[in-house]
Structure 1
């Protein structure tokens, strides 16, 4: 058999088969649809204002737990002061309260500006111009403390039961 009849025979044998796989156009359509779906999920999964304020409350709750442990381990009280712009931790020294600047207890700001920060329970007044403080002492059991973060109609309670555990919740 010569080469020309061989090619004809191969073409006739394979002409009934459809090539498997996807065309470039089909792959592009699938990629565009996947991109649209992923962008919709990303937009809906990003936290809203309520979620951001709750995240701040949970972060402060963890920091309060760490401050309580640090006060017990270091045998010195640690205080927290906060307002609508942010917060800071202070440590008690023989010369008075001085701000802490370590990584964990460095001054911080809220993810979203708050309208109000209310020390609802367990706060100590420090004077007319100073915000009330939450003080974490050396005792294992302390008085309950409660902080309320307010932004518009969003309220987040950060409460401690006196045993060193703190929880953030929305009422």
Structure 2
């Protein structure tokens, strides 16, 4: 068997990437792109969802306190926040988490003291994303819950 010179074996080497190396690089790029898209989630919608869930819980807390004390409680939206009329001051929060949150339409809810209340709700919007809105509503028997709406 003849021995090949060293410089001839170097000339036969292939230059470029193998298919496996290209697949690995493409996979890494796909994972990085997916992570970046999840990290860049729409913050205005996430803020609105947090506000809606928080307000639904606060309305249920106000409703429970109204039933326990037998005192009528009214929730009312104000500039920059809201208030629970009929409850002691500072018992429940009165500010939005974000200054861009506002109530659209009706701005008052009657929370009790009766176990059954009239069906009612409010619509929250975020001025940074006015195309999305959340409705917090009850049918009078069930607790307040967040419902997605379209303007």
Contact 1:84 1:117 in 2 (8 A): no
Q: TM-score, normalised by structure 1?
A: 0.57
Cα distance in structure 1, aligned partners of 2:102 and 2:54: 18
Match of 1:157 among 135, 141, 145: 135
Task: Decide which structure has the larger Cα Rg and report it.
Answer: 1
> Alignment partner for residue 89 of structure 2, among 81, 96, 100?
100
RMSD: 2.6
Structure 1 stretches lacking a partner, 5+ long: 1-32, 93-98, 120-131
Alignment partner for residue 36 of structure 2, among 30, 35, 40?
40
2:65 aligned with 1:63: no
**Deviations 1:91-136 (CA, angstroms, capped at 9, x unpaired):** 16xxxxxx6212xx131124251354322xxxxxxxxxxxx42121
Give the Cα separation in 1 of the matches to 2:139 and 2:65. 18
Give, in angstroms, the shift of residue 54 of structure 1: 1.8
- Structure 2 CA distance for aligned equivalents of residues 116 and 69 of structure 1: 23
Offset of 1:83 from its aligned partner?
3.9
TM-score (norm 2): 0.64
Alignment of 1:1-171 (within 5 A): 37=32, 40=36, 43-44=39-40, 48-83=43-78, 85-91=80-86, 100-102=89-91, 105-114=92-101, 116-119=103-106, 132-151=107-126, 152-171=130-149
- Distance (Å, rounded) in 2 between the aligned partners of 1:112 and 1:39: 29
Pair 164,70 (structure 1): closer, same or farther in 2 beyond 3 Å? farther
| Aligned partner of residue 170 in structure 1, secondary structure | strand
- Write out per-residue CA displacement over residues 46-65 of structure 1, whole angstroms, 9 at most, x where no aligned residue: 55211211221111111111
- Pair 1:107–1:81, CA change in 2 (3 A): same
Structure 2 unaligned runs (5+)? 1-27
Deviates more, 1:158-167 or 1:109-118: 109-118
